[in-house]
């Protein structure tokens, strides 16, 4: 590949051709002509879009903001980032804070013929709109005092600055507003200052900006790590990752909470869980399977913890004798996830903590298992009466969670029914994030249960018949990825842990 010279003032002047709403923040033609006479004009400017369309490979190497530290002092660097803040100090000096994902670095422009920086270049930099994408070439230096940027110990003395893509001058969300913690709001209020709050709906309407806050950058990296660890642990236990269809005939769980559609003229619906299919995979001889995939619930639940589409983490496995085999997997799995986050995602957790302070989830190396009876006894001793064979309501469940935390020092525990439970499954901990069960593996009982649940058995006959071809006893569990992240980071709304959440009101973006 032929390499090309860096963009020149000529290309900078291509801003003339930019559409009206993008040029608002750019320099006037007159100013540009004047700047074109600047002997250092080649050191800055708008790069026309044509120049960025895979024309040439310069071979230059790019530095990550997160990699900058003291050791980089004196090094020349090339950085592409978003202009988070632009602060003119004088005609001859300005600061630009550049951001890349969770990291920011302060860039300093000081007009000086010796370094090729003109006052015109300083003006160009201060004319940039916030959140524009720019390339900065500069030299790393150590500031006299720590900076506000995440890369506190270094700054970049700018030699060249090019704008790759300008943001519109007035953004629907100011990133600083979106990134503030409750404590900052309180502090400002006490000082008589009124700061702008960005509501949940506004955030979600302009999610492409909202996602840039440090907390959001961290939340979805945590989410990715939860999924990775989920997969890694189960793979190490001989589970096979599978994918089952989301377009199905019939309804997977019954009830009204199902999205219906036409599939080539046939009535179809979206899977409310991979339950039937992961069980069929077990009947198909896979012994242990897991799936990570979307789950659809047409529920009209406008709560802080329900979504109409979420990511299900599901597993199903043969049981030799007892569903404790499933409990053991859940125990090992979640402890390994929690441990991984605690030990390897410190930066992300700290970042979330700065905007949304939280106590880290407490868990034990070996998950506490309590019988239902023991749970009831604990509640009883605390003055709460529960029917011995009845179900725990949300309030009792929460109370039990608090009692367990006090007594055993854990937020995470398994509550199981013993010796003969009302329901043939264990549910549980932490606001009932996980539910699981030993499943029915005989076709007759299955058909009976399905009918009792109001499901038209004819629509799931292939599923039921699967159990007449020789089916091993099995069990499994399912949990929402968004809920795990929400609970681990003690976030107050599940919409914070879904990149583009779907609730009864929200279908865009």
Q: Which is nearer to a copy of itself, 277 or 477 (CB)?
A: 277
Query: Residue 71: how many CB atoms within 10 A of its CB?
Result: 10
State how far Cα 365 lies from the chain centre: 26
Q: Does 438 bind a copy of itself (CB under 8 A)?
A: yes
Q: Which of 432, 461, 465, 506 is catalytic?
A: 432
Q: From residue 325 to residue 364, what is the string marking binding to a copy of itself with x (rule CB under 8 A)?
A: ----------------------------------------
Q: Give the chain's length.
A: 509
Show contacts with a copy of itself in window 298-327 (CB under 8 A).
298, 300, 308-309, 311, 318-324
221 is catalytic: no
- Judge whether 484 and 313 are in contact, CB under 8 Å: yes
Q: Contacting a copy of itself (CB under 8 A), which of 444, 453, 456, 492?
A: 444
Comparing CA positions, the residue from 437, 415, 414, 423 lying closest to residue 279 is: 437
Note if the bond before 509 is cis, omega within 30 degrees. Answer: yes
In sequence order, what DSSP letters do the residues of 180-196 get, joined into one string? --HHHHHHHHHTT--PP
Q: Does 268 bind a copy of itself (CB under 8 A)?
A: yes
Show contacts with a copy of itself in window 102-121 (CB under 8 A).
none
Residue listed under structure tokens 């609730």: 503
- Judge whether 262 and 241 are in contact, CB under 8 Å: no
Q: Does 220 bind a copy of itself (CB under 8 A)?
A: yes
Q: Does 242 bind a copy of itself (CB under 8 A)?
A: yes
DSSP helix/strand/coil, 295 = strand
- E strand or H helix that includes residue 449: helix 443-452
What contacts 380, CB < 8 A, 6 or more positions away? 386
Q: For the chain, what is the total number of helices (H) and then of strands (E)? A: 17, 17
Q: Contacting a copy of itself (CB under 8 A), which of 113, 192, 285, 383?
A: 285
Q: Does 200 bind a copy of itself (CB under 8 A)?
A: no
- E strand or H helix that includes residue 476: strand 474-480
- Judge whether 311 and 294 are in contact, CB under 8 Å: yes
Q: Which of 305, 340, 449, 506 is catalytic?
A: 305
Q: Which is nearer to a copy of itself, 144 or 366 (CB)?
A: 366
Q: Does 131 bind a copy of itself (CB under 8 A)?
A: yes
User: What phi and psi, each to the nearest 5 degrees, are found at residue 99?
Assistant: -125, 140
CB of 20 vs a copy of itself, minimal distance in Å: 10
Burial of 314 (0-12, 13-18, 19+ CB in 10 A): buried
381 is catalytic: no
Q: Which of 406, 435, 444, 468 is catalytic?
A: 435
How many positions of this chain bind a copy of itself (CB under 8 A)? 119
Q: Which stretch binds a copy of itself (CB under 8 A): 67-75, 107-115, 126-134, 388-396?
A: 126-134
Q: Contacting a copy of itself (CB under 8 A), which of 86, 94, 149, 281?
A: 281
Q: Which stretch binds a copy of itself (CB under 8 A): 89-97, 186-194, 389-397, 461-469?
A: 461-469
Show contacts with a copy of itself in window 359-388 (CB under 8 A).
none
HSE, side-chain direction, 13 A CA sphere, residue 270:
15
Q: Contacting a copy of itself (CB under 8 A), which of 123, 159, 160, 166?
A: 166
Note if the bond before 361 is cis, omega within 30 degrees. Answer: no
Q: Contacting a copy of itself (CB under 8 A), which of 221, 340, 405, 449?
A: 221
Q: Which stretch binds a copy of itself (CB under 8 A): 85-93, 296-304, 338-346, 357-365?
A: 296-304
Q: From residue 39 to residue 78, what is the string marking binding to a copy of itself with x (rule CB under 8 A)?
A: ----------x--xxxxxxx---x----------------
Q: How far apart are CA 88 and CA 94, in angstroms?
A: 4
Active site residue ranges:
297, 299, 305-306, 432, 435, 483
């Amino acid at each position: 590949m032929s390499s090309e010279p860096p963009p020149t003032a000529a290309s900078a002047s291509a801003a003339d051709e930019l559409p009206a709403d993008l040029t608002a923040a750019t320099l006037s033609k007159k100013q540009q002509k004047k700047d074109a006479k600047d002997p250092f004009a080649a050191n800055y400017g708008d790069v026309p879009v044509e120049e960025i369309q895979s024309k040439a490979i310069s071979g230059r190497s790019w530095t990550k903001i997160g990699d900058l530290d003291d050791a980089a002092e004196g090094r020349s660097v090339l950085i592409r980032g978003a202009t988070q803040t632009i602060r003119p100090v004088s005609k001859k000096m300005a600061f630009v804070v550049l951001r890349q994902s969770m990291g920011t670095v302060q860039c300093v422009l000081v007009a000086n013929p010796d370094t090729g920086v003109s006052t015109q270049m300083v003006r160009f930099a201060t004319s940039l709109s916030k959140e524009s994408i720019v390339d900065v070439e500069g030299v790393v230096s150590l500031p006299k005092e720590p900076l506000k940027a995440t890369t506190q110990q270094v700054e970049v003395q700018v030699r060249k600055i090019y704008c790759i893509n300008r943001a519109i001058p007035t953004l629907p969300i100011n990133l600083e507003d979106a990134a503030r913690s409750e404590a900052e709001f309180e502090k400002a209020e006490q000082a008589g200052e009124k700061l702008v709050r960005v509501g949940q709906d506004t955030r979600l309407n302009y999610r492409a900006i909202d996602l840039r806050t440090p907390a959001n950058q961290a939340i979805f990296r945590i989410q990715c790590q939860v999924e990775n660890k989920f997969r890694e642990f189960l793979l190490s236990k001989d589970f096979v990752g599978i994918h089952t269809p989301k377009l199905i005939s019939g309804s997977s769980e019954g009830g009204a909470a199902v999205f219906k559609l036409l599939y080539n003229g046939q009535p179809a619906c979206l899977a409310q869980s991979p339950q039937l299919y992961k069980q069929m995979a077990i009947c198909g001889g896979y012994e242990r399977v897991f799936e990570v995939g979307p789950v659809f619930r047409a529920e009209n639940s406008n709560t802080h913890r329900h979504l109409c589409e979420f990511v299900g983490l599901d597993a199903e496995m043969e049981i030799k004798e007892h569903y404790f085999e499933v409990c053991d997997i859940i125990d090992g799995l979640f402890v390994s996830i929690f441990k991984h986050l605690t030990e390897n995602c410190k930066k992300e957790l700290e970042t979330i903590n700065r905007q949304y302070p939280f106590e880290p989830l407490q868990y034990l190396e070996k998950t506490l298992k309590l019988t239902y009876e023991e749970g009831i006894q604990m509640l009883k001793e605390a003055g709460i009466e529960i029917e011995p064979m009845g179900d725990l309501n949300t309030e009792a469940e929460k109370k039990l969670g608090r009692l367990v935390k006090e007594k055993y020092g854990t937020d995470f525990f398994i509550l199981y029914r013993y010796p003969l439970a009302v329901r043939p499954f264990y549910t549980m901990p932490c606001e009932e994030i996980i539910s699981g069960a030993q499943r029915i593996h005989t076709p007759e009982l299955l058909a009976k249960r399905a009918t009792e649940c109001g499901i038209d058995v004819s629509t799931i006959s292939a599923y039921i018949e699967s159990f007449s071809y020789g089916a091993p006893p099995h069990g499994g569990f399912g949990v929402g990825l968004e809920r795990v992240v929400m609970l681990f980071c003690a976030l107050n709304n599940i919409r914070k842990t879904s990149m583009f959440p779907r609730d009864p009101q929200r279908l865009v973006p």
